[in-house]
Amino acid sequence: MKIGFIGLGIMGKPMSKNLVKAGYQLVVNDFNQPNVEELVALGATAAKSASEVASLCEVIITMLPNSPHVRAVALGEKGLHETAKPGSILIDMSSIDPTESKAIGAVLKEKGMRMLDAPVSGGEPKAIDGTLSVMVGGDKKDFDEFYELLKHMAGSVTYVGELGAGNIAKLANQIVVALNISAVAEALTFAQKAGASPELVYQAIRGGLAGSTVMDAKAPLMLDRKFDPGFRIELHIKDLNNALNAGHSAEAPLPLTAQAMEILQVLKADGCQRDDHGAIVKYYEKLSNITLKR
């Protein structure tokens, strides 16, 4: 099967490499020419535009920064809609506003094209080792048809409902992650400020109800002050902005999400937008006038 892959960034490049390793023929497109050349060296074919990808492939995967980029690739000049074959499918694995997923899918449907929204969770390390979590919205028949394809990039692939539900699930995930990281950072800075060892407090509580995957992933990095990006603050800002927009559209209040967004905005103003989101601890360090340490 020949697969189109548009978007070879920090996530898309390793994901596309995993498809090449699985034996798929890829047609790739991205503004970053060195990344395109890297995939071509592995056997992929380069395309100059999204419309060229659609002319060559009936299955197109996109992994793009945000809603406007997906709309431009799908419906803009030299977009997929210009040359897409009837019955072809867009599997958008970007994390975007679910209302946009529905709107883009509706236009593509008029042109005879199917769509799944299939955002991912796990960051670059899991993109590299092919163990991402994928949340998929769209027609269940389409999900079943492309389940095996998605599994070559993922540890879990879960169907969550109609088109747009994939991104609703992803935004729910990002809300929980942001609030969990904030709670861990607040708790550890509290522990140190109050005179206890934050590392020993972490070890004491991680096995109880407070323990979580997020805590185990981020607390050691906070204690070691390692903020190299696994998932950048600026990307989490993008996701929470989409969550707040979707929440407002659905009349679903998100007060804690709004507070987390303001914390991230403070960090962005301090020049930390390209740090890992574990750097939320810097906000609490600033408030408490301490530097977290083991």
Question: In order of start, what are the domains of the chain with their CATH numbers?
Answer: 2-162 (3.40.50.720), 169-288 (1.10.1040.10)
pLDDT (0 to 100) of residue 230: 81
Indicate the pLDDT class of residue 285, thresholds 50, 70 and 90: very high
pLDDT tens-digit profile of 37-76?
999 999 999 999 999 999 999 999 999 999 999 999 999 9
Q: What is the pTM of this model?
A: 0.92
Mean pLDDT of 131-144: 98
Say yes or no to pLDDT of 1 above 90: no
CB 101 within 8 A of CB 166: yes
Q: What is the pLDDT of residue 272?
A: 98
Give the number of other Cβ atoms within 10 Å of residue 213's Cβ. 9
What 290-293 contacts at long range (C-beta under 8 Å, 24+ apart), as own/partner pairs, is 290/189, 290/192, 290/193, 291/225, 292/188, 292/189, 292/192, 292/198, 292/222, 292/223, 292/225, 293/192, 293/198, 293/223, 293/225
Which token pair is 281? 């601890």
Say what the pLDDT of residue 133 is. Answer: 96
Q: Are 138 and 92 in contact (CB under 8 A)?
A: no
Per residue in 223-281, pLDDT (tens digit) is: 999 999 888 999 999 999 999 999 999 999 999 999 999 999 999 999 999 999 999 99
pLDDT tens-digit readout, 24-33:
999 999 999 9
- Indicate if 109 belongs to the active site: no
pLDDT, mean of residues 105-132: 95
**From the candidates 17, 170, 218, 282, which is the catalytic residue?**
170
pLDDT range class, residue 163, cuts 50, 70, 90: very high
Is pLDDT of 124 > 90? no
pLDDT band at 149 (very low <50, low <70, confident <90, very high): very high
Half-sphere exposure of residue 283: CA atoms within 13 angstroms, side-chain side: 27
